[in-house]
Structure formats: C-alpha cells, structure tokens
C-alpha cells in the first residue's frame, strides 16, 4: 500500500476519456494509482461504470449517485434542476448492484446562486440528497459528496441524518466548518486544481492528515483548467499537501491511501466477482 495512490473521486466514465481510455489507464497505472473510485453524476452513467469495472476489475471501484446538477439535452451543466423524480430510474439500480458499489456518490448540494437561484431549487436538492443518504445508510455504504457554496448545511445535514462515513470532495469551505466535519469523522479530498492558487492552504494546514484523501475529479479540476485532467495527475495534490504540511510526499501518499481504504473498504482489491 505504501507505494500506491488512491484517486478517491474521479469520472473515468466521462465521454472525455472514450477515445484514448487505454492510454489513460496505462498512465494511471504507471503513476502507481492502485484504485479509481469512480463516481457518477446521472443514471445514464451507471452501466458504463460497471462496464469499466468489468474491464479493469483490479482498478475501478464503482459508485452510483445522482448529482445535484443535471445536464439536459446537451445544454449547460445546470440546465435541468434536480427533482426527486430524477431518482426514480436510479432506485432499483442502487439495490440491484449493491454488492459491487463501494459508495453512493457523487451526491450533495450546490447552492451556487446561478445553479440554485430559488429556495425551491435548494429544497429540491435537499430532498434528493437526503433520499440518497438514506439509501447509503440502508446499504451500509459511505457517501462521496459534492458541497459547493453549501459546506455548512451539507455537513449539518449528514450529521442530522446519522451519516458517519463521508468524503467531502474538492472541499472549499471555511476551516472552522471543515473541523466540524472532522469531529463527525468525515474525510476531505483535494484535486490537482488546488495547486493553481494558495486559497486553500490554510484549510489544508488545519485538517489533520488522517482526515485527508487525494482525488483528481478528472476530467475536471486539473493543473491547467483548459486541459483535460486525468488520474495520473494524482501526484500533484500529494506533493502540494506534503509541502503545506511540511511532510514528505511518501508520507502523504501512505496516509491518504490508508484513509481511503478505511473509508471505502470495498475498494481495496476491487473485483467485479462479487
């Protein structure tokens, strides 16, 4: 384990990887990435994630989740504002494939003003979020969570719903809010994009390493926002976090991998033969 990385949040099923997936996987393995925790944003991705696990059973660890923002007909990302009925098609699949899932995700809340301009939009997101949290509890799975402009309410909601195992991905809330999550036992992950500025240095410094994981969120949030990100870039946040904390990259790699497998135990030694 000490020689491997775990990418705790990536979109390997994204269309951006279709043309050269074999090369991307090759670079992923060459970068010593042992596990890709593969999240989804909508029901249409569920089958693709399972197919990828079938193709790469030692690498891809599938998650099912419905994101608070949904693309619609090739239009803008937030063109379709989430409603509870958007979960209808997903419900049976959560249960049918529960043995193969390592987590429920990507789920969460996005209260960015242009994404959730009304209270009704925020209420709809909350209904979908709480329903998926209840499924995670029922299936005894951790959650892989998006929390943009909603850090405090996301953590409070998970605590109220009795969630004990959660990853808050690409977390950008205040350190004081993050520490409330730490108290609840939650983990936080950071993608290569954190290397572009020093905005989250204070946050990363204050979160104990035992509560940090690594992610790429590929194909988004790479070192260059105009270039497709991929899992092999996992080395970048590792080195960045090591520098902020005054630790060696090897220590960060070891501890974050241990954290990841503690949170996602079914991802350790992924296999589709479940």
pTM over 0.75: yes
CA distances from 240 to 27, 145, 187, 190, 192 (A): 20, 22, 18, 10, 9
CATH architecture entry for 5-267 = Alpha-Beta Barrel (3.20)
Domain boundaries, the chain: 5-267
For residues 177 and 7, give the distance between their C-alpha atoms in angstroms, rounded to a whole number.
24
pLDDT of residue 243: 97
* Token pair in block for residue 86: 């958007």
pLDDT of residue 2: 53
Q: Could you tell me which of 119, 123, 105 has the C-alpha nearest to residue 67? A: 105
Cα(158)–Cα(18) distance, integer angstroms: 34
State how far the Cα of 145 lies from the Cα of 83, in Å rounded to an integer.
Answer: 18
pLDDT tens by residue, 252-263: 999 999 999 999
Strands 212-214 and 80-81: unpaired
pLDDT at position 91 over 50? yes
Task: Write down the pLDDT at residue 76.
Answer: 44
| Reported confidence tier of residue 62, pLDDT bands at 50, 70, 90 | very high
Owner of token pair 């990302």: 77
Q: DSSP state, 115?
A: T
Taking all residues of the chain, what is their mean pLDDT, rounded to a whole number?
93
Q: How confident is the model at residue 75 (pLDDT cuts 50, 70, 90)?
A: very low
DSSP 168-232: EET--S-HHHHHHHHHTT-EEEE-GGGGG-STTHHHHHHS-GGGEEE---TTSS-SSTTS---GG
């Amino acid at each position: 384990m000490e020689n491997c990385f775990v990418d705790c949040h990536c979109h390997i099923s994204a269309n951006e990887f279709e043309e050269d997936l074999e090369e991307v996987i090759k670079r992923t393995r060459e970068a010593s990435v042992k596990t890709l925790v593969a999240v989804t944003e909508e029901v249409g991705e569920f089958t693709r994630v399972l197919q990828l696990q079938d193709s790469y059973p030692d690498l891809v660890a599938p998650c099912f989740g419905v994101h608070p923002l949904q693309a619609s007909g090739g239009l803008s990302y937030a063109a379709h504002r989430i409603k509870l009925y958007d979960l209808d098609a997903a419900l049976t699949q959560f249960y049918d494939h529960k043995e193969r899932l390592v987590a429920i995700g990507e789920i969460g809340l996005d209260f960015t003003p242009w994404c959730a301009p009304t209270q009704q939009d925020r209420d709809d997101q909350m209904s979908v979020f709480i329903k998926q949290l209840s499924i995670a509890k029922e299936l005894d799975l951790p959650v892989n969570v998006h929390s943009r402009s909603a850090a405090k309410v996301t953590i409070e909601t998970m605590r109220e719903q009795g969630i004990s195992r959660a990853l808050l991905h690409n977390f950008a809330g205040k350190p004081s809010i993050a520490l409330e999550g730490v108290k609840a036992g939650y983990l936080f992950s950071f993608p290569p994009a954190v290397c572009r500025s020093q905005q989250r240095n204070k946050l990363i410094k204050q979160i104990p390493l035992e509560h940090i994981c690594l992610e790429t969120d590929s194909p988004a949030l790479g070192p260059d926002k105009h270039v497709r990100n991929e899992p092999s870039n996992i080395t970048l946040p590792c080195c960045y976090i090591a520098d902020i904390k005054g630790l060696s990259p090897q220590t960060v790699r070891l501890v974050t991998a241990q954290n990841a497998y503690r949170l996602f135990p079914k991802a350790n030694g992924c296999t589709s033969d479940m």
